[in-house]
Amino acid sequence: MNKESNLTKIPHHILQEAQKAGIESDGKNRSGTFFHLNQETVAAEVHEFYEGKIELMDIKAALKKYPWLEDYRWKLISKDTDEYTRKVAEDYSGGYFMRILKGAEIDFPLQSCLMITQRNLEQKVHNIIIAEEDSKAHIITSCLQYSSVPNAAHIGVSETYVKKGAMLNFTMIHQWSEQTLVRPRSAAQVEDKAAFISNYVCMRPVRDVQMYPVAYCTGNESRVSFNSILYGHRNSLLDIGSKAVLAGKDSKAEMDGRAIARKGSKMTLRGLIEGDNPDCKGHMDCRGLLMDNKSLIQSIPELIAKKKGAEITHEAAVGKISEKEITYLMTRKLSRDQAVSLIIRGFMDVSILGLPDTLNKEIKKIIDASADAA
């Protein structure tokens, strides 16, 4: 990180809270850090080793610096999609602009944090990511609310462009509260021989989340992967889905979801793969565990083939924890609660996220801590 980091100006207790959602406060193992607190960007800085390979700044500053960026804004998502996109179009506090330059291979992940610490705040942001040709990068975005702050809303519009031959792995971690309304609106365009991996992790109680990111695989041999790990509890409402449109020759899509519903949570798990090319393939796999009679899991897979030759498949299963597995673990001197916790952590398999080993370990710690605290 630059010698004088703006992160040092952020109160320690706020950084501590952000760490629970995967943010590294000193930035030593990150290529860059973006921090948007309430309605203001307080840090946007690139590690000195990666200067000239990454650009990272507030979107409003980026639009002033680069007039051409207007051609990317509201291109993948319409301002009139719904009431939430209209709100962002009318007024927004900022957001991040991330640009991985052509041919750059970024070993350490970029990190961004969108955080709410004010009561009754409606945070509205617009983010744009451009991964230029033949670049490779990992991004961790942590969206969270300070634990003692109730009644807030987060509305985020994100547009991602993965250029020819680029690889982008994007992981979003949500840590909200039981009184938070969350409405992300996201879309990505994936060009020739490019790959986009989108991961979503939600482990804390939240009042209401509704998200349905879409990827347009317009390029030949383009790839998209949507993966999610969801833990619903304390009457949370989670309506989570993803959509892939396979237009390019030999384009492919994979969707893999893991969901646990307990303590009165309601989950709707959606997935749609549309085959618009005769040489495309797609598969979705959704698995859920229902932990009590007060909760609900509904799986809604959709397959649309518009061209002869498109191959699209799906699997979906909702069930319960096997009593045989619990009994077996209890013979190994574990209590019933310990056995259930171990099975849950195993079910929330981070390997589906496609992360490097070091990042896998970080995400696994977050999942384990949340599962143990539930």
What is the secondary structure of 175-195 as a DSSP string?
E--TTEEEEEEEEEEE-TT-E
CA dist., res. 126 & res. 223, Å (int): 25
> At which residue do the structure tokens 């962002």 appear?
88
Q: Please name the helix (run of DSSP H) or strand (run of DSSP E) that holds residue 272, with its range, or none.
A: strand 266-275
Judge residue 343's burial from the number of C-beta atoms within 10 Å of its C-beta, 0-12 exposed, 13-18 middle, 19 or more buried.
middle
Q: Which pLDDT score is estimated for 10?
A: 86
Q: Residue 27: what residue type?
A: G
The partner residues of 137 in beta bridges, in order of sequence, read 168
pLDDT for 60 equals 98
CB 261 within 8 A of CB 300: no
Determine the Cα–Cα distance for residues 247 and 279; give it in Å rounded to an integer.
Answer: 9
Strand duo 195-202 + 167-175: pairing: parallel
The C-alpha atoms of residue 78 and residue 179 are separated, in whole angstroms, by: 28
Q: What is the DSSP string of 304-338?
A: EE-STT-EEEEEEEEE---HHHHHHHHTTT--HHH
- Residue 273, both tokens: 């793969």
- pLDDT per position in the chain (374 positions), as tens? 445 567 777 888 899 888 888 888 887 889 999 999 999 999 999 999 999 999 999 999 999 999 999 999 999 999 999 999 999 999 999 999 999 999 999 999 999 999 999 999 999 999 999 999 999 999 999 999 998 888 899 999 999 999 999 999 999 999 998 899 999 999 999 999 999 999 999 988 899 999 999 999 999 999 999 999 999 988 899 999 999 999 999 999 999 999 999 999 999 999 999 999 999 999 999 999 999 999 999 999 999 999 999 999 999 899 888 888 889 899 988 888 888 888 888 888 888 888 877 778 878 877 777 666 55
